[in-house]
Amino acid sequence: MLDSWHKPSDKVVRNLAKVFYLSEACFAAIVLGIVSWFLSHYEDTPVYPAARLIWTEIIAALAILYCATLVFTFDYYPACFAMINMFFALAFFASFGAVENFDCDDNWMGWRSEYGEPYRPCWRATAAFTFLSGFFWLVSVLLAYWTPINKEPHHILPRKPSHGSSTIASEQV
Protein backbone atom coordinates (compact mmCIF):
# COMPACT_ATOMS: atom_id res chain seq x y z
CA MET A 1 0.00 0.00 0.00
CA LEU A 2 2.73 2.46 0.92
CA ASP A 3 4.71 1.59 -2.19
CA SER A 4 1.88 2.76 -4.42
CA TRP A 5 1.33 5.98 -2.44
CA HIS A 6 3.15 8.99 -3.86
CA LYS A 7 3.89 12.22 -2.11
CA PRO A 8 1.81 15.06 -3.55
CA SER A 9 3.56 17.72 -5.57
CA ASP A 10 5.22 20.63 -3.81
CA LYS A 11 2.74 23.14 -5.20
CA VAL A 12 -0.22 21.12 -3.89
CA VAL A 13 1.36 20.85 -0.43
CA ARG A 14 2.13 24.58 -0.32
CA ASN A 15 -1.37 25.59 -1.39
CA LEU A 16 -2.98 23.10 0.99
CA ALA A 17 -0.82 24.43 3.83
CA LYS A 18 -1.92 27.98 3.06
CA VAL A 19 -5.58 26.90 3.10
CA PHE A 20 -5.00 25.25 6.47
CA TYR A 21 -3.38 28.41 7.85
CA LEU A 22 -6.32 30.51 6.72
CA SER A 23 -8.78 28.08 8.30
CA GLU A 24 -6.72 28.05 11.51
CA ALA A 25 -6.89 31.84 11.58
CA CYS A 26 -10.68 31.66 11.14
CA PHE A 27 -11.01 29.10 13.95
CA ALA A 28 -8.81 31.21 16.20
CA ALA A 29 -10.90 34.31 15.41
CA ILE A 30 -14.09 32.46 16.38
CA VAL A 31 -12.50 31.27 19.62
CA LEU A 32 -11.16 34.75 20.34
CA GLY A 33 -14.56 36.34 19.77
CA ILE A 34 -16.50 33.95 21.99
CA VAL A 35 -13.89 33.97 24.76
CA SER A 36 -13.70 37.77 24.67
CA TRP A 37 -17.47 37.90 25.02
CA PHE A 38 -17.31 35.65 28.09
CA LEU A 39 -14.50 37.74 29.59
CA SER A 40 -16.41 40.97 28.99
CA HIS A 41 -19.31 39.64 31.06
CA TYR A 42 -17.19 38.93 34.11
CA GLU A 43 -18.93 40.52 37.10
CA ASP A 44 -17.13 39.28 40.22
CA THR A 45 -18.54 35.78 40.02
CA PRO A 46 -16.97 33.84 42.91
CA VAL A 47 -15.87 30.90 40.75
CA TYR A 48 -15.11 31.96 37.21
CA PRO A 49 -12.83 30.40 34.60
CA ALA A 50 -10.88 33.61 34.03
CA ALA A 51 -7.42 31.99 33.88
CA ARG A 52 -8.63 29.34 31.45
CA LEU A 53 -10.28 31.91 29.24
CA ILE A 54 -7.32 34.29 29.32
CA TRP A 55 -4.98 31.44 28.31
CA THR A 56 -7.30 30.52 25.46
CA GLU A 57 -7.63 34.14 24.38
CA ILE A 58 -3.86 34.70 24.33
CA ILE A 59 -3.22 31.54 22.32
CA ALA A 60 -5.98 32.44 19.83
CA ALA A 61 -4.64 35.98 19.39
CA LEU A 62 -1.08 34.72 18.85
CA ALA A 63 -2.36 32.15 16.36
CA ILE A 64 -4.13 34.83 14.34
CA LEU A 65 -0.99 36.98 14.19
CA TYR A 66 1.18 34.00 13.32
CA CYS A 67 -1.17 32.80 10.57
CA ALA A 68 -1.40 36.28 9.09
CA THR A 69 2.36 36.41 8.62
CA LEU A 70 2.84 32.74 7.80
CA VAL A 71 0.55 32.71 4.80
CA PHE A 72 2.98 35.06 3.05
CA THR A 73 6.30 33.71 4.41
CA PHE A 74 5.63 29.97 4.36
CA ASP A 75 8.00 29.24 1.47
CA TYR A 76 11.18 30.26 3.30
CA TYR A 77 11.75 27.80 6.17
CA PRO A 78 8.87 25.33 6.45
CA ALA A 79 10.80 22.92 8.71
CA CYS A 80 11.24 25.69 11.29
CA PHE A 81 7.55 26.49 11.02
CA ALA A 82 6.75 22.85 11.77
CA MET A 83 8.11 23.30 15.30
CA ILE A 84 6.07 26.45 15.85
CA ASN A 85 2.99 24.68 14.47
CA MET A 86 3.56 21.88 16.98
CA PHE A 87 3.62 24.47 19.78
CA PHE A 88 0.29 25.87 18.63
CA ALA A 89 -1.20 22.38 18.28
CA LEU A 90 -0.25 21.52 21.86
CA ALA A 91 -1.38 24.95 23.10
CA PHE A 92 -4.80 24.59 21.49
CA PHE A 93 -5.20 21.06 22.83
CA ALA A 94 -4.32 22.43 26.29
CA SER A 95 -6.92 25.16 25.79
CA PHE A 96 -9.45 22.53 24.77
CA GLY A 97 -8.70 20.55 27.92
CA ALA A 98 -8.97 23.65 30.09
CA VAL A 99 -12.30 24.67 28.57
CA GLU A 100 -13.72 21.14 28.50
CA ASN A 101 -12.69 20.36 32.08
CA PHE A 102 -14.61 23.36 33.40
CA ASP A 103 -18.30 22.50 33.62
CA CYS A 104 -20.58 25.50 33.86
CA ASP A 105 -23.20 23.68 35.95
CA ASP A 106 -20.81 22.51 38.64
CA ASN A 107 -18.24 25.28 38.85
CA TRP A 108 -19.58 28.60 37.62
CA MET A 109 -22.04 29.88 40.20
CA GLY A 110 -24.86 31.97 38.83
CA TRP A 111 -24.11 31.51 35.15
CA ARG A 112 -27.64 30.30 34.46
CA SER A 113 -29.33 33.21 36.22
CA GLU A 114 -27.01 35.84 34.70
CA TYR A 115 -26.57 34.53 31.18
CA GLY A 116 -29.30 31.97 30.74
CA GLU A 117 -29.36 28.55 29.15
CA PRO A 118 -28.77 29.69 25.52
CA TYR A 119 -25.17 30.63 26.31
CA ARG A 120 -24.18 27.06 27.12
CA PRO A 121 -23.84 26.31 23.37
CA CYS A 122 -21.39 29.22 23.13
CA TRP A 123 -19.23 27.48 25.72
CA ARG A 124 -19.47 24.24 23.74
CA ALA A 125 -18.62 26.10 20.53
CA THR A 126 -15.46 27.40 22.19
CA ALA A 127 -14.49 23.85 23.10
CA ALA A 128 -15.27 22.59 19.61
CA PHE A 129 -13.31 25.27 17.78
CA THR A 130 -10.30 24.94 20.08
CA PHE A 131 -10.24 21.22 19.31
CA LEU A 132 -10.62 21.81 15.57
CA SER A 133 -7.88 24.39 15.65
CA GLY A 134 -5.56 22.02 17.52
CA PHE A 135 -6.25 19.28 14.97
CA PHE A 136 -5.64 21.61 12.03
CA TRP A 137 -2.38 22.78 13.61
CA LEU A 138 -1.34 19.15 13.94
CA VAL A 139 -2.03 18.54 10.25
CA SER A 140 -0.08 21.72 9.47
CA VAL A 141 2.93 20.19 11.22
CA LEU A 142 2.88 17.37 8.68
CA LEU A 143 2.36 19.74 5.77
CA ALA A 144 5.24 21.96 6.90
CA TYR A 145 7.45 18.91 7.32
CA TRP A 146 6.61 17.67 3.81
CA THR A 147 7.25 21.03 2.16
CA PRO A 148 10.79 21.43 0.86
CA ILE A 149 12.59 24.74 1.13
CA ASN A 150 11.97 26.83 -1.95
CA LYS A 151 15.41 27.67 -3.33
CA GLU A 152 14.13 29.95 -6.05
CA PRO A 153 14.75 33.66 -5.51
CA HIS A 154 11.62 35.59 -4.65
CA HIS A 155 10.62 38.92 -6.14
CA ILE A 156 13.93 39.50 -7.89
CA LEU A 157 13.51 40.83 -11.38
CA PRO A 158 16.10 39.63 -13.87
CA ARG A 159 18.47 42.33 -15.05
CA LYS A 160 19.10 42.89 -18.68
CA PRO A 161 22.76 42.73 -19.57
CA SER A 162 24.06 46.20 -20.26
CA HIS A 163 25.91 46.70 -23.49
CA GLY A 164 27.67 49.76 -22.33
CA SER A 165 27.72 52.38 -19.67
CA SER A 166 25.32 55.24 -19.25
CA THR A 167 28.15 57.61 -18.43
CA ILE A 168 30.24 59.39 -20.99
CA ALA A 169 33.50 57.65 -21.85
CA SER A 170 35.56 60.67 -20.78
CA GLU A 171 34.04 60.51 -17.27
CA GLN A 172 34.93 56.85 -16.79
CA VAL A 173 38.13 56.06 -14.96
Q: Kindly report the three-state secondary structure assignment for every residue of the chain.
A: CCCCCCCCCHHHHHHHHHHHHHHHHHHHHHHHHHHHHHHHCCCCCCCCCHHHHHHHHHHHHHHHHHHHHHHHHCCCCHHHHHHHHHHHHHHHHHHHHHHHHCCHHHHCCCHHHHHCHHHHHHHHHHHHHHHHHHHHHHHHHHHHHHCCCCCCCCCCCCCCCCCCCCCCHHHCC
Q: pLDDT tens digits for 84-100?
A: 899 999 999 999 988 88
The mean predicted confidence, pLDDT, of the chain is: 77
pLDDT tier, 151 (very low <50, low <70, confident <90, very high otherwise): low
pLDDT(147) > 60: yes
Cβ contact 126:101 at 8 Å? no
Q: Which has the closest alpha carbon to 144: 6, 14, 7?
A: 14
Q: Where are the domains of the chain?
A: 10-40+47-149
pLDDT value at residue 70: 78
pTM for the predicted model, two decimal places: 0.72
pLDDT value at residue 62: 94
Assign residue 89 a region: left if phi > 0, alpha if psi is -120 to 50, beta otherwise?
alpha
Q: pLDDT tens digits for 17-68?
A: 888 889 999 999 999 999 888 888 766 555 566 778 888 999 999 999 998 8
